[in-house]
Chains A and B, each alone.
Chain A
Amino acid sequence: MEAITAVAQDPESDMDCSDNEGFDDYDYYNATEDNDIEQVDPSKTDPEHFEYECLTEEQVERLLNETVEILSNNLQITPSLAKVLLHSHSWAVTSIISKYRSNPDNLLINSKVKPVTTPSTSSTCSRYMTCPVCVSPQVNERFFSLSCLHSFCKDCWTTHFEVQIGQGISTAISCMARECEVLAPEDFVLKHLSRTTMREKFQQYSFQDYVKSHPELRFCPGPNCQVVVRSRELKAKRSVCCQCKTIFCFKCGMDYHAPTDCLTIKKWLTKCADDSETANYISAHTKDCPNCHICIEKNGGCNHMQCYNCKYDFCWMCLGDWKAHGSEYYECSRYKENPNIAHESVHAQAREALKKYLHYYERWENHSKSLKLEAHTLEKLKARINQKVMSGLGTWIDWQYLFTAAALLAKCRYTLQYTYPYAYYMETGPRKELFEYQQAQLEAEIENLSWKIERAETTDRGDLENQMDIAEKRRTTLLKDFLDV
């Protein structure tokens, strides 16, 4: 293991030396002895390395309140106004402070705290005023206004806020006057809400808005999960909720999708949702053995198939002879574009486009199905181990490594699945060739691993662990070269 790790780092340290003109060498040779391998910075070796923490609602509230306090102390404004400013400026305290120092009016107007035009203060001599909304005359003391000085009666403000909150609006409630965009800050809203349910709803919606506007925070997308993940690295990286274990992309909150980026995966998933019926229809769930034509249903993860009937080894994806896959690279994952496509008719181009899409979709879908069969595969693995132990072939402890192998297989297959949308949207060229080459290598090693797990004996442990290492190396190599976050 260690030897391989060291080899994998070689190119990196070489680069460091050349970049820093030997300064690093000096440090390197002076380093104390006990830190040669342990001290490796995981953010350099693991392309998926991501530092984050899971926070509870209370912790997030404390965090937000601390920021609010800093700003309100610094600018000498109410916490409520500070919240409006932070919400509209992605919680960037320092940038708000500097903007305030250079041009406070500009900041307050852009944040909809102050009106665009300074309102004229109309002093009324009469003790009564008519509310423009409910048109009922009332004593002056019942009238309230925001910084824009548009006055409305207390009851109208209350109803306005209740209607807005009923529609799920909280931080974006504005003044009632026509074309007035001045926002109602939290203290103003709460002052006019008497019903506890309304106050609670308002605070709950505001909290959600604050978290959503904070770049370092992301709600766990797991069903009914209240956890908020926090990271200072605002990247599309893999986060795991500590509570419900949901795995998701920190940037977009969708299923983790490396090496594909957030926009591409969204485009791909929309496309699949639109086209899935055709694709499902075309790629049926069963295939015939290419040798004896008996009908085969795939019920496990491995694409290396052996026909029960004629013992022919073939690849489930391309139905070609498995032997042809073993050599330098794995032809099956590579889509061969018709080079004369530009000269073909529109109809032929449409067919070609569909063919191209189906090529990637089938592989995407196939790996997704394999992953869904994971639970089933684990059951089968347990049964097999049980049987081995009962017949005296090793103990339970001897066989535990297979579960680790199965978990790694799932991880690799997951990445492989998300390489297909990436490849689909790539432009033809040397970079795509390199990508598909690495993808093919990863796929080949994954299939080898899957095949070995399904047939492992206690004596094969070394071989299997070696295979695990190779598969994981292929995975990280591909991510290192193509994961761009």
Chain B
Amino acid sequence: MAALPRRIIKETQRLLQEPVPGISAVPDDSNARYFHVIVTGPEDSPFEGGLFKLELFLPEDYPMSAPKVRFITQIYHPNIDRLGRICLDILKDKWSPALQIRTVLLSIQALLSAPNPDDPLANDVAELWKVNEAEAIRNAKEWTRKYAMDN
């Protein structure tokens, strides 16, 4: 494997030295491009109190291509599907090489605070979120308790 680009080394150092509040991202021992991520559910959201595990991978042409990010912990959210795939513009067509791991994770945290049912990935969840928001939020809280607490 080719040497790790300076950009990745710098980003990793900064992530470990000045971590973002509510987010931890640690590179894997055997692969410096693979990160174990934990995002805490934002306050005043149905995900509050939960600890959500994610995986993040920097592809070969990073930062020219976006990192690949996926939720490992199950989550009830209109923009995240059963497989943990995330519908977020900056991970797709709005990616810019000037964005960083840090900014991507912050955007994901913001997505938890502000779900967007008009641009859904999980259709059934988005549908309920639009028709009956109260029930959708109850479900999200229930899932957070079930999957994102005490483990």
Contacts and interface: CB of A to CB of B under 8 A. Distances in A.
B63 interface: yes
A160 B98 CA distance: 11
A132 B7 CA distance: 9
B98 A135 contact: no
A426 interface: no
A176 B65 contact: no
B66 to A, nearest CB: 11
Contacts of A156: 97
Contacts of B103: 178
Given A159-B61, A163-B65, A136 B6 contact: yes
A150 B96 CA distance: 12
A383 interface: no
B6 A135 contact: yes
A150 B10 CA distance: 21
Most-contacted residue by chain A among B6, B7, B64, B65 (CB, 10 A) = B64
A342 interface: no
A180 to B, nearest CB: 7
A156 B94 CA distance: 18
B83 interface: no
Given A134-B7, A136-B6, A176 B61 contact: no
Q: Which of A135, A156, A177 has the most CB of B within 10 A?
A: A135
Contacts of B97: 133, 152, 156, 160, 176
Indicate the member of B5, B96, B99, B103 with the most A CB atoms within 10 Å. B96
A179 B64 contact: no
Chain B interface secondary structure, helix, strand, loop or mixed? loop
Interface in A152-167: 152, 156, 159-160, 163-164
Contacts of B63: 133
Contact of A135 (B10, B61, B94, B99): B10
Interface string B78-104: 000000000000000010111100010
A164 B130 CA distance: 37
A150 B98 CA distance: 10
Contacts of B65: 163
A458 B61 CA distance: 74
B6 A133 contact: no
Given A133-B97, A133-B98, A176-B96, A160 B64 contact: yes
Contact of A163 (B64, B94, B96, B98): B64
Nearest to B8: A135
A129 to B, nearest CB: 14
Given A159-B61, A163-B65, A134 B6 contact: yes
Nearest to A180: B96
Contacts of B5: 134
Interface in B1-50: 5-7, 10
A178 B61 contact: no
Interface in A127-141: 132-136
Contacts of A152: 97
A135 B98 CA distance: 10
Contacts of A133: 7, 63, 97-98
Contacts of B10: 135
A159 B96 contact: no
A177 B98 contact: yes
B61 A163 contact: yes
Nearest to A174: B96
A275 to B, nearest CB: 23
A356 to B, nearest CB: 30
Contacts of A135: 6-7, 10
Given A133-B63, A160-B64, A163-B61, A176 B6 contact: no
Which of the listed residues B61, B63, B94, B103 has the most CB atoms from chain A within 10 Å of its own CB? Answer: B63
A133 B61 CA distance: 12
Contacts of A160: 64, 97
A112 to B, nearest CB: 14
Interface string A361-395: 00000000000000000000000000000000000
A178 B6 contact: no
Contacts of A179: 94, 96
Interface of B: 5-7, 10, 61, 63-65, 94, 96-99, 103
29 contacts: A132-B98, A133-B7, A133-B98, A134-B5, A134-B6, A134-B7, A135-B6, A135-B7, A135-B10, A150-B98, A152-B97, A156-B97, A159-B61, A159-B64, A160-B64, A160-B97, A163-B61, A163-B64, A163-B65, A176-B96, A176-B97, A176-B98, A177-B96, A177-B98, A178-B96, A178-B98, A178-B99, A178-B103, A180-B96
**A-B pairs with the 6 shortest C-beta distances?**
A163-B64, A178-B96, A176-B97, A178-B98, A133-B97, A135-B10
